[in-house]
Copies of this chain bind each other. A is one copy, B any other.
Amino acid sequence: MKTPHEIVQLMLAADAFSQWMKIEVESLTRGSCTLACTINAEMLNGFHILHGGISYSLADSALAFASNSYGNQCVSIETSISHTKPARLGDTLRAICTELHRGKTIGIYEVKVINQAQQLVALFKGTVHISEKVW
């Protein structure tokens, strides 16, 4: 059976958009992970703050890595996100994913996206279906 790092390696290797975002995996265990990403000019919206889609993408990747790291492939069913504070050019964001529930077929995860001052930028919740397919 593959380790969490081997699984995430497989997921990241060909992941063009995560590479575009320059996502880094700072920590990883079964059911949790922390990702980091620094905001560049192409990630901003018309208000010169971070486009909400980037915080979502970072959180969604954290969900994928944390939930898949047990070895069974997990598919996102429903995700929600609240943007609580604007993030700006040059900020380094961290997405910290923790497991709220892991049943036989359903997993629920929370992701807190924080900036370098530990302020909450976005709050994300994701529900995944745990399939029988293994990595």
Contact = CB atoms under 8 A, between A and B. Distances in A.
A56 interface: yes
A127 to B, nearest CB: 5
A105 interface: yes
A103 to B, nearest CB: 6
B77 A127 contact: yes
A94 interface: no
A15 interface: yes
A106 B106 CA distance: 12
23 contacts: A13-B46, A14-B44, A16-B44, A16-B51, A17-B42, A17-B45, A17-B53, A17-B54, A53-B53, A53-B58, A53-B60, A56-B56, A56-B57, A77-B78, A77-B82, A77-B127, A78-B82, A80-B80, A82-B106, A101-B123, A105-B129, A108-B123, A125-B125
